[in-house]
Amino acid sequence: MSQTLEQAMYSVSQLFLLPTLLLISLLFLYAFWVLGEFATLAFRRRLGAGRPLLAAHRAAAPRGLSEDELDLRAHKLMEGPRIASRVTPLLGLVATMIPMGPALKGLSDGNLAQVSSHLAVAFSAVILALIAAAITFWVANVRRRWLAEEMLEIARGHAQGAAAPQAEAANEAIPAPRVQAGAA
């Protein structure tokens, strides 16, 4: 019974190697797509554009977007890179562990070519996964800061916009100090 269960688990785990390698390949390409988007956005930000939350807030004039709506938009913008930066290393670990079984079996059989072949797949997959995770992690963190800056800019704009009429009304209510002639 135990040997049957072990063999079944081994067989099922081997079925996941190809899908895992495919997902790592797609996430590796996605990481470079995200990096290209990031470079374009950075260039646009230097030109004074490339601020998606601010643009959406202004487009929703006259009232603008609420803080919750802005937060939701920011989360949507960050969702892809954030998930990729966390899932890709896990897939890299899976893609490393799956070929280890056949590699160890080949080692016990004295088949070094089989060991070499399986270890090459394992280490190549984890290297690509870690590169993709590093790229998406870096991009996600910088973009998170950019979005936080935009939200702060919007909040300050609202605070200044709301505070300005109140300050003017307060200034009108306080009488100006009288200056007496001859006072030094």
Eight-state DSSP code of residue 16: T
For residue 178, is it within any domain? Answer: no
* Burial (CB count within 10 angstroms: exposed 0-12, middle 13-18, buried 19+), residue 29: exposed
Average the pLDDT over each of 54-58, 95-99, 124-128, 156-160 and give the range with the smallest value.
156-160
Helical ranges in 47-111 per DSSP H: 52-59, 67-109
Please give the Cα distance from 154 to 160 (Å, whole number): 10
For residue 127, is it within any domain? Answer: yes
Which domain does 94 fall in, by range? 8-173
For residue 179, is it within any domain? Answer: no
> Residue 33 in contact with residue 16, Cβ under 8 Å?
no
For residue 183, is it within any domain? Answer: no
Q: What is the number of structural domains in the chain? A: 1
For residue 2, is it within any domain? Answer: no
For residue 180, is it within any domain? Answer: no
Tens digit of pLDDT for each residue in 76-110?
Answer: 999 999 999 999 999 999 999 999 988 988 988 99
By residue count, the chain amounts to: 184
User: Which is higher by pLDDT, 14 or 160?
Assistant: 14
